[in-house]
Structure 1
Amino acid sequence: MSDTAPTAAAPKRPQSVRASRARLVIAAMLFVSVVINYLDRANLSVAMPAIADELSLSPAQQGLLLSAFGWTYAALQIPGGWLIDRVPPRVLYPVCLILWSLATGFMGVFAGFAALIVLRLLVGVFEAPAYPINNRVATSWFPEKERGGVIGFYTSGQFIGLALLTPVLTWLQSAFSWHWIFITTGAAGVVWGAVWWLVYREPKRMRTANAAEVEHIREGGGLVDLEDAPPPRKAPSWPDFAAVLANRKLWGIYLGQFCLTSTLWFFLTWFPTYLVEYRGMDYIQSGLLVSLPYLAAVAGVLLSGFASDALVRRGAPLGLARKGPITAGLLLSTAMIGANFTDSTAWVIAFLCIAFFGNGFASITWSLVSALAPRRLIGSTGGVFNFVGNLSSIATPIVIGLLVSETSFAPGFVYITAVTVVGVLSYTLLVGRVERQPDPEEAAGPAPGGTASA
C-alpha cells in the first residue's frame, strides 16, 4: 500500500465558452449552403448562351426559361414559412438541398426546352424555404449581438461564391459542355445535403457545443429551445394581411424591394448572355469579367451595414441611417445606363461594377421591415415584402427578353434603370418618415366588455 493518503479530486473547472465554438461551424455551414443556393440560381445564366445556340432559342424564349425559377420560388415564400415552423432544420434543409440539387443535375441530362423549364420550376420549389431556414438556424444558434454579423457573413456567400466559382463553371462549359455545369453543381448540392444531415444539430444536441456555449447563446437571446418548445403562433388572418397590404409606407418598401432585386436578377440571368452574345466575348473571358461586379457587390454589402450602424451610433435619425444607404445605392445602380453609350468593354464593366456595388450598398432593406412593420405583424409584413421583391425574378428575365433584339441590348438597360428610379421615388415619396406603423387590432381597442391585452 502507498504510505501517502489519497488526495481529494481536484475541483472541476468551469467550462469556458471559448473552449467551445460550435457556432462558428454553424456559420461556415450556412455560408456554404448559401454559396450552393446561389450557384444553382445562377448556373443557368452561365450556360444560357450555349443552350440558346444548341436549341435555337429566341430572346423571348430565353427570358421565359430564365424566369421559370422565380414563378415557384416567389409563390412558395409565404407557405414555406409555415413548413419551417413544423419541420426541424436538420431534416428540412438536407431534403430541400438534395431535391433541388437533383433537379439541377437532371438539367444536364434532359436538355429539351420544356424539360428545362419543368426542372427549373422544381429548383424554385425546393429552394423556396432555404433563406427562411437560414434565419431559423441563426435565431437558434447565435445571440442577438452576434446575429447581425453572422447574417451578413452568410449572405455575402451569394456574391463571393459567384465571383470565385463562375470562372470555374465557364471553364467546365468550355472544356466539356454546358451539361457539366448542371451535373457538377447538382452533385455538389447532393453531397452537401448529406453533410448537413450528418453534422447539424440544435445547440443542446451538438456534441461539440459545451454547456457554457449553449448558455452564452441563451443569455444573449438565442432561442436554443426552439425545437423542443416552439413558441405558439397565431394563425394568420385575413384582417392581418389586409393591414399589411393597405399601408402606404409598407407598399413603399415592397415596391422598393422589387426595384432593388430587379438589378440583382439582371446579373443572375442575362449578364453572361450580354457579354457573350452582345459584346462578342468567349466563355472564359465572360466568366472572368462576370466575377468583377460580384466582387463589387460584396464590397457594397459589407460597407452598407458599417455605414448604417455608424450613423446610428452618431445619433442620426433612423430614417437617414437606414434609408440613406438604400437610396444612395439605388442611385448608384442607375450607372448601368452608361453601358449604352460606350463601345469599350472596360467602360461597360466599370459601369456595371458601379451598378452592382450600389445594389449591394442598398441591401439593408430588411432593416426597414423591422422598423416599419406593426410589432405583431412583422412576420406577415416580411412575407409580403419577400414575395413582392421576388416577383422581380419573374419579371426581369421575361421583360428583358421581350425588349432586346438580336443585335441590341440597350432597351434592357433602359428598363432596369427606369425600374431603379421608381425604387428611389418609392423610398422617398411612399415611405417618407421611418416610424413603426400602428397595429389595427391595437388601434381598435378592446372589444365591448373586454379588457385590453398586454
Structure 2
Amino acid sequence: MKAVEEHTLPGRNPAYADTTKRSRVRYVVLSMLLAATILNYVDRSALGIVAPGLSKGLALNRMEMGELFAGFGLAYSIALVPGGILTDVLGSRLAYGLSLLGWSFATLTQGFATGYHMLLGSRLAIGAMEAPAFPSNARAVTLWFPARERGFATSVYVMGQYIGTPLFTGLLLWISAAYGWRTVFYVTGGFGILFSFLWYRVYRDPHQHAGVNAAELQYINEGGTVARKPREKFDWRMALKLLSYRQILAICIGKFCNNTLLVFFTTWFMTYLIEARHMSMIKVGIFQALPFIGATVGILLAGFLSDFFIRRGVSISTARKAPLIIGTLLGASIVLVNFVESNEGVIAILTIAFFAQGVGSMSWAAVSEIAPRQYVGLTSSITSLAANIAAVTTPLMIGYITHHTGHFYWALNLMGAICLLGALSYSVLLGKLSRIEL
C-alpha cells in the first residue's frame, strides 16, 4: 500500500480504495493527448496540403519545397533531446502548454510569408517548438496508465497522427480554394493557440489532479506505473549511455525506417496524387483520406491486439514486438504502386502500406516498457530523434530524385528498401523487451 499512500490526495483514505468506484480521469487526459496530437500533425502537414497552390504562388520548385519540408524535420530533430529534458524537468503540463503555444503561433506566421526564406524560418520554428510534444505524451501515458492499458493508450494518441488529415484536409482544401492558402495557416494556428490555454488549465499529473480518487490511483500504481521520484540532476552523458543499450538502438533504427512512410504521407503525398497521378482536386479530396483511415485502423488494431495478448498471458516482449516487425515489413508494399496504372489500385496499395505503418507505430508502447523510470522523457526524445531524422532525409530525398528524374519511381523504391531494413532491426537486433535499470 506504500505506493498508494504516496500518491493519495489529501483527505482521501486508501483503505476504501477497493470498495470505491474508480474515477476515470485518465480517459479525459487521453482524449486531450489525442486532440493535441491531431493539432500537432495538422499544423506540421498543412504546408503539404497547400503545397501545389503555394509553390505556384511563390514560384518555388521541388527542391525548394523539399527543403521547406525538411526544415521542419531538421529543427524538430535537433530540439528533441532538449525537449525531452524540458519534459522531465517541467512536467507534461507546462512543457506541453508552452510547446502548443509556440508551434501554433509559428504555424500562423506561415500565412504572412512572401517567399522561401520567410517560410523556412516559420518551418524551423514549428519544428523546434513541437519537440516536447511526444515526450510529453509518453510521460503522461506512463504516469496515468497501468502497463496492461498502456498499449491501447499509446495507440489512441498516436492515432492523432493519422485522423487529422482525413478529418480536416477536405475542409482545409476548401478554405484554400475559397479564401487562399494563407488562411489555412491562420485557422490552424489560431485553434492551436486556443487549445494551449485549455491544456494548461485542465491537465495535471495523477497525484495532483483533484478529480482522481484513491481507487483510480491504486489501480494505476498497481499496474506498474512509474512512481514519483525526486528529480535527479541531468547528465548529458546519460543520453550516450542510453544509446549503448541494444534495445534502444534497435528501436531507433526501426522508428527511423517506419517513419519514412509517415513523412511521405504528410509532405509529398498530395503532390504525388495531383502531379504524378494527375488526379483532379475532387478525386484528391476523396482518395487522400483512405490511406490515413487505413493507418488509423492499423495503430488501433495493433494497440488492441497487443494489450489483448498481454491479458491472455503472452509476454509483454512478444506482444509489443510483433506489431513492429509485421507492420514495418508490410510497409515495403508501397513499391507496388510503381506497377499499377489505375488510380483505384494506387490508392488501395497506399492504404495497405500506410495501414502497415500505423501497425509499426506501436514502437511508442515499446519505449514505455524499456525506458528507465527516471528518464522516460529523455528515452522518448532519443528514439523520437531517430524517427524524425526521416523528417529531414525523406523530403530531401524525394525532392532531389523527383527534381532530377521528373517522377517518383526511384523514391518509392528506396522507401520500400528502408522499410525492409527496419523490419530487420526489430526482428534481429531488438531482442527481449525489459525495463532498463540504471
Report the TM-score when normalising by structure 2: 0.86
Offset at 1:23? Answer: 3.1
Aligned residue among 53, 68, 74 for 2:56: 53
Aligned residue among 251, 273, 292 for 1:294: 292
Structure with a larger share of its residues in helix: 2
Map of 2:177 onto structure 1: 174
Map of 1:449 onto structure 2: none
Map of 2:231 onto structure 1: 232
Name the CA distance, whole Å, in 1 between partners of 2:309 and 2:85. 36
Q: Aligned pair in 2 of structure 1 residues 331, 235: CA closer, same or farther (>3 Å)?
A: same
Q: Aligned pair in 2 of structure 1 residues 349, 436: CA closer, same or farther (>3 Å)?
A: same
Structure 1 residue ranges without an equivalent (≥5): 1-13, 442-454
Q: Contact between 2:138 and 2:364, CA under 8 Å: does it hold in 1?
A: no
1:430 is aligned to 2:429? yes
Amino acid at match of 2:199: W
Q: Deviations over 1:396-431 (max 9, x none)?
A: 000110011474121221121121122223334433
Amino acid at match of 2:253: L
Map of 1:388 onto structure 2: 386
Q: Contact between 1:17 and 1:216, CA under 8 Å: does it hold in 2?
A: no
Map of 2:281 onto structure 1: 283
1:39 is aligned to 2:38? no
Offset at 1:321? Answer: 3.7
Map of 2:5 onto structure 1: none
Q: Aligned pair in 2 of structure 1 residues 338, 128: CA closer, same or farther (>3 Å)?
A: same
Amino acid at match of 1:268: T
Structure 2 residue ranges without an equivalent (≥5): 1-15
Aligned residue among 84, 90, 94 for 2:93: 90
Name the CA distance, whole Å, in 1 between partners of 2:268 and 2:390. 13
Q: Contact between 1:174 and 1:283, CA under 8 Å: does it hold in 2?
A: no
Name the CA distance, whole Å, in 2 between partners of 1:368 and 1:356. 20
Map of 1:75 onto structure 2: 78
Amino acid at match of 2:267: T
Structure possessing the higher radius of gyration over alpha carbons: 1
Greater mean alpha carbon deviation, residues 121-130 or residues 92-101 = 92-101
Aligned residue among 151, 154, 161 for 1:151: 154
Q: Aligned pair in 2 of structure 1 residues 217, 243: CA closer, same or farther (>3 Å)?
A: closer
Q: Contact between 1:329 and 1:359, CA under 8 Å: does it hold in 2?
A: yes
Name the CA distance, whole Å, in 1 between partners of 2:207 and 2:256. 39
Offset at 1:332? Answer: 1.6
Name the CA distance, whole Å, in 2 between partners of 1:210 and 1:182. 41
Q: Deviations over 1:96-131 (max 9, x none)?
A: 212211110110122321001100110111110011
Q: Contact between 1:300 and 1:360, CA under 8 Å: does it hold in 2?
A: yes
Offset at 1:372? Answer: 6.2
Map of 1:411 onto structure 2: 410
1:117-266 matched pairs, under 5 angstroms:
117-203=120-206, 205-210=208-213, 212-214=215-217, 216-217=219-220, 220=223, 226=228, 230-233=229-232, 235-236=234-235, 238=237, 240-246=238-244, 250-266=248-264
Report the TM-score when normalising by structure 1: 0.83
Aligned residue among 72, 84, 100 for 2:103: 100
Secondary structure, aligned partner of 1:257: helix
Q: Aligned pair in 2 of structure 1 residues 205, 321: CA closer, same or farther (>3 Å)?
A: closer
Greater mean alpha carbon deviation, residues 371-380 or residues 28-37 = 371-380
Name the CA distance, whole Å, in 1 between partners of 2:368 and 2:307. 15
Q: Contact between 1:371 and 1:434, CA under 8 Å: does it hold in 2?
A: no
How many residue pairs are counted as aligned between the two chains?
A: 421
1:268 is aligned to 2:271? no
Identity of matched residues, %: 37
Q: Contact between 2:142 and 2:226, CA under 8 Å: does it hold in 1?
A: yes
Offset at 1:237? Answer: 5.2
Q: Contact between 1:260 and 1:420, CA under 8 Å: does it hold in 2?
A: yes
Offset at 1:32? Answer: 1.1
Aligned residue among 338, 359, 362 for 2:360: 362
Amino acid at match of 1:167: G
RMSD: 3.0
Offset at 1:268? Answer: 0.9
Q: Aligned pair in 2 of structure 1 residues 379, 180: CA closer, same or farther (>3 Å)?
A: closer
Q: Aligned pair in 2 of structure 1 residues 259, 83: CA closer, same or farther (>3 Å)?
A: same
Greater mean alpha carbon deviation, residues 285-294 or residues 132-141 = 132-141
Offset at 1:331? Answer: 2.4
Q: Contact between 1:60 and 1:401, CA under 8 Å: does it hold in 2?
A: yes
Map of 1:303 onto structure 2: 301
Q: Deviations over 1:60-105 (max 9, x none)?
A: 1111001111111111111112212222443332222122111101
